[in-house]
Amino acid sequence: MNNKKLRKSSTDRSLYGVCGGIAEFFGCSSFLIRLLFIFVIPASLLIYLILANTLADSPRSL
């Protein structure tokens, strides 16, 4: 069973790590996720702010 959790990325972050966390969760490039957020700007800004405030931070690795 896959027990991945959607979290903000601690390593792949530009602002809050939301796009990096989504990319890690789905196993794709964070660049593609960032492009997706840019192309649907009006809705994505609100979604990004909600996710930035509600997603837990991923634990830092050594």
For the stretch 35-53, pLDDT in tens is 988 888 778 888 888 989 9
pLDDT recorded at residue 12: 85
Cα(25)–Cα(6) distance, integer angstroms: 6
Reported as type and span, the H/E element at residue 52 is helix 41-54
What amino acid is encoded at 10 in this protein? S
Cα(42)–Cα(12) distance, integer angstroms: 24
What amino acid is encoded at 59 in this protein? P
Cα(60)–Cα(42) distance, integer angstroms: 32
**What percent of the chain has a predicted confidence (pLDDT) above 90?**
32
Q: Which residues are bridge partners to 8 per DSSP?
A: 57
Average pLDDT over residues 19-29: 92
pLDDT recorded at residue 26: 93
